[in-house]
Chains A and B, each alone.
Chain A
Amino acid sequence: EDQVTQSPEALRLQEGESSSLNCSYTVSGLRGLFWYRQDPGKGPEFLFTLYSAGEEKEKERLKATLTKKESFLHITAPKPEDSATYLCAVLAGGTSYGKLTFGQGTILTVHP
């Protein structure tokens, strides 16, 4: 069974204080790992797709990396508007090709 575990559950940072969020996964035949941002009461917003170990993607203050067992979302010099829940998800291959499994998310709060 595919599993995705995110840590920490919640993270409080001061503005400008860089940190990382972790996503550990077990999946049969990883087709892709996704990071999403979700604001309260809204649908998840797509951030990145990572396909293979060693791959990195960047967008503004966010950088996602991937190994064979986990992914990290690095947040450099965060601002209060980066406050949100960050979700990690994996897409498996084989017969469950359309099935996307999410982790529980990390609630990030950035204080000014």
Chain B
Amino acid sequence: EAQVTQNPRYLITVTGKKLTVTCSQNMNHEYMSWYRQDPGLGLRQIYYSMNVEVTDKGDVPEGYKVSRKEKRNFPLILESPSPNQTSLYFCASRFQGVGGYTFGSGTRLTVV
């Protein structure tokens, strides 16, 4: 089944403890992206990647890191999480050219 897989689905962590949210897609998509979704603010892009080793900032990149060493994987790294990064995170992927993103099921992160 064609899909974007995120792990974990739920995560509660403490301020300052480094964490990684994994994202993997099995559709051979070139583009991958991370979004966060907050009430009243909608979906906001954190980072996106146009291919292996090519990444760019979205609208809210502060406090996040990404890497794209393999085409299928695009992990999101929070080096020192803070409570304002409590949110629902989505990974998404699509083919090069113009087409819709396929989204993962989401990761609900709580930083206390």
Q: A98-B49, A98-B50, A99-B48 are in contact. Are A87 and B43 (CB under 8 A)?
A: yes
Q: Which B-chain residue is minimally distant from A103 (CB atoms)? A: B42
Q: Determine how close the nearest CB of chain B comes to the CB of A103; give it in whole angstroms.
A: 7
Task: Say which one of A17-25, A37-45, A68-76 lies at the interface with B.
Answer: A37-45
Contact A41 B106 (CB under 8 A): yes
Q: Determine how close the nearest CB of chain B comes to the CB of A109; give it in whole angstroms.
A: 17
- A residues less than 8 Å from B44 (CB atoms): 102
Q: A42-B105, A44-B43, A87-B43 are in contact. Are A99 and B58 (CB under 8 A)?
A: yes
- A residues less than 8 Å from B90 (CB atoms): 43-44
- B residues less than 8 Å from A42 (CB atoms): 105-106
B contact patch SS: strand
- In the complex, which of the residues B33, B42, B48, B58 has the most CB atoms of chain A within 10 Å of its own CB atom? B42
Q: In the bound complex, what is the Cα–Cα distance between A100 and B31 (angstroms)?
A: 11
Contact B98 A49 (CB under 8 A): yes
Contact B106 A97 (CB under 8 A): no
Contact A102 B42 (CB under 8 A): yes
Question: What class of interface size applies to chain B in its complex with A?
Answer: 20 to 34
Q: Which A-chain residue is minimally distant from B57 (CB atoms)? A: A99
CB-defined interface of A5-47 with B at 8 Å, one 1/0 digit per residue? Answer: 0000000000000000000000000011010100001111110
Q: In the bound complex, what is the Cα–Cα distance between A51 and B45 (angstroms)?
A: 21
Q: In the bound complex, what is the Cα–Cα distance between A51 and B58 (angstroms)?
A: 22
- B residues less than 8 Å from A96 (CB atoms): 56
- Asked if A104 is at the interface (CB within 8 A of a chain B CB), the reply is yes
15 A-B pairs with CB atoms under 8 Å apart are A36-B100, A42-B105, A42-B106, A43-B92, A44-B43, A49-B100, A96-B56, A98-B31, A98-B33, A98-B56, A99-B56, A99-B58, A100-B45, A100-B101, A104-B42
Q: Given A32-B99, A99-B58, A104-B40, list of 11 further CB < 8 A pairs?
A: A43-B104, A43-B105, A44-B101, A46-B101, A46-B103, A98-B33, A98-B49, A98-B56, A99-B45, A100-B48, A101-B45
